[in-house]
Every structure is written in C-alpha cells, then in structure tokens.
Structure 1
Amino acid sequence: MKGFKDFVMQGNVIDLAVGVVIGGAFTALIGAFVDNLIQPVINVFGGTNVNGLSFKIIQANEATRVDLGAVLSAVIAFLITAAVVYFVFVLPISQARKLDRKRRGLPEVEETPVSEDIMLLTEIRDALTGRGTTPGTTAQNPQNPPQV
C-alpha cells in the first residue's frame, strides 16, 4: 500500500489528474460555444432547410442523415481548442524557457552530443548503403553491384 501511495502522490500523477479535469471542463466550454454560437451561424448557409447543412441520403431513413454542419462545427471546435492550448500554454512556456536560458547565459539551441557508439553505427549504416566508406574499405551499393 505504501508503494501505491508514493506513486499517487508523485507530482506528475497529480498534475496529470488536474490536466484531465481541466481538459474535460474546457471541452464542455468549447462544445457549448460551438453548439450554441457557431452551429446556428453555420446552419444559416443551409437556407430554409430546417436541418441546416444536413441531408438524408434516403429520405425515409433517419439513419442516413449526413450532417455537414456538425462536422464543420467539430473542425472549428478543434481549431479553437488547438489555438487556445498553443497561445495560453505552449507559447508562454516556450518564451519563459527562452528567457530563463538567456538569463542563465545558456546558448539558444542546445546541441546534443553524439556518442561514439552512434557515430560508429552511422558509419556502418552509411557503408552498407553505399553512401560512404570507412577508411581502408570500399562500400558496395546493393542496387548497383560491381561490374565484373
């Protein structure tokens, strides 16, 4: 039980739970905005049709209704959500990180060092595909075998 308590009390689990709750509330807010403000405006383009931009493929079968307005509303809801997440969360955090890096005197873009293992594997791959050779060897390209 102690291990479970330690797991649940970790900061990232609590942060995730808060994010899920706020995400659910935000989804409901955007849904209400789109359903009650955007959808009626989209339905105006349906003219005098009571159903807005929807139509039935088979008139007698309600299950064949195609609702283009609902699809368009969902796309708009997605774009609104993505824009809010970007401008409220991603952009400010990115700017704060840049300012923090600048304040600490760190370079703008941090280059990750390449280990010797990765360099060796890259050379082997390049030699096998014919893009390069290692010193003292010749690489053969499998698509262009050597002419005898």
Structure 2
Amino acid sequence: MLKEFRDFIARGNVMDMAVGIIIGAAFTAIVSSLVADLINPIIALFTGGIDFSGWFYPLDGNDYVSLAAALEAGAPVFAIGKFIMAVINFLIIAFVVFMLVKMVNTIKDRAMREEEVAAAPEAPPAPTEVELLMEIRDALKQR
C-alpha cells in the first residue's frame, strides 16, 4: 500500500496539480489585491463612493444603526449589500482573470506560430531566369 501511495504521488499529474494549486493560491492573493486596492477605488470614484455592504434588512423587525450592530445583537438579517458587493467583486475578478488568460493564450499562440514557421521546411529555390530559358530551349530542340 505504501508503494502504491508513493507511485501515486510521484506521478507527473499529481505534482502538476499541486504546483497549480499553490500558484493558484498565490494568484488569488494578487487578483484580490488588484480588485481591492486598484479597481474598487476607481469604481468608487465613478459611483460617488457608494458602499453597498451596509445595506441590510433585519428580519426581526427592529431598527439597527448598522449591520454590525444587528449582527452583534444576534438579529437575523438579510445582508443584501454584502451579497451585492460579493457579486460585484466576483464579476471584477472574473473579468481580470479572463483578460489574463486571454493575454497568456495570445502569447502562447504567437510562440506556437513562430515555432511552426521555424519548423516549416524550406521551399526549394525557384529556378532562375537563365534556367527557365534553358528549359524552354531544350523543349524546343526536342520538337
């Protein structure tokens, strides 16, 4: 059983997957920072600094000053704003990831085209003008 486990771990796919998960975790931190530190302030500039995260509806019917106060009191709340912010953040992150993947695919396609051009066999050189004239002369002589 230990040998099977070692063989499983030593497979290339498992190692590739582990590296992908580690890189993905680091990439998540970068994209989250990009959204929180660069993109959200720009959006706040255009929306006048609206923060949806404070929008909530207490289900117990009482009035609370803030969402934090309602949660501290143990009230059941319908946190509409937090959900809206989560959806907005998801859309921003999805768009950023889409653009990064598109850029990587473009670079990869360009590299593959360059490899294909480099690997393509060279066409035989075209006959020169003199060689063509000699072929015509020889053909005329044979008639």
Q: Shorter chain as normaliser: what TM range? A: 0.5 to 0.7
Q: For this pair of structures, how many residues does the alignment match?
A: 103
| Equivalent-residue separation in structure 2 for 1:34 and 1:86 (angstroms) | 18
Offset of residue 43 of structure 1: 3.2
Query: Partner of 1:30 in structure 2?
Result: 31
Offset of residue 70 of structure 1: 4.0
Query: Partner of 1:80 in structure 2?
Result: 96
Match of 1:64 among 65, 78, 85: 78
- 8 Å Cα contact 1:39/1:70 also seen in 2: no
| Equivalent-residue separation in structure 1 for 2:107 and 2:42 (angstroms) | 32
1:102 corresponds to 2:103: no
CA distance change for structure 1 residues 42 and 48 in 2, over 3 Å: closer, same or farther? closer
- 8 Å Cα contact 1:39/1:69 also seen in 2: no
**Which secondary structure does the structure 1 equivalent of 2:111 belong to?**
helix
Q: Which structure would you say has the larger Rg? A: 2
Offset of residue 45 of structure 1: 4.7
Query: Partner of 1:118 in structure 2?
Result: none
Return 5+ residue gaps in structure 2 as ranges. 68-76, 122-143
Which structure has more helix as a fraction of its residues? 2
- The structure, 1 or 2, with the larger RCO (C-alpha pairs under 8 Å, 6+ apart) is 2
Return 5+ residue gaps in structure 1 as ranges. 107-148
What amino acid maps onto 1:85 in structure 2?
V
With structure 2 as the length reference, what TM-score do the two structures score? 0.55
1:73-105 alpha-carbon deviations (Å, 9 max, x no partner) = 3211111122112313x2222232333333333
What amino acid maps onto 2:3 in structure 1?
K
1:11 corresponds to 2:26: no
The runs of 4+ residues in structure 1 deviating greater than 4 Å are none
Offset of residue 39 of structure 1: 2.1
| Equivalent-residue separation in structure 1 for 2:49 and 2:12 (angstroms) | 55
- 8 Å Cα contact 2:57/2:80 also seen in 1: no
Query: Partner of 1:133 in structure 2?
Result: none
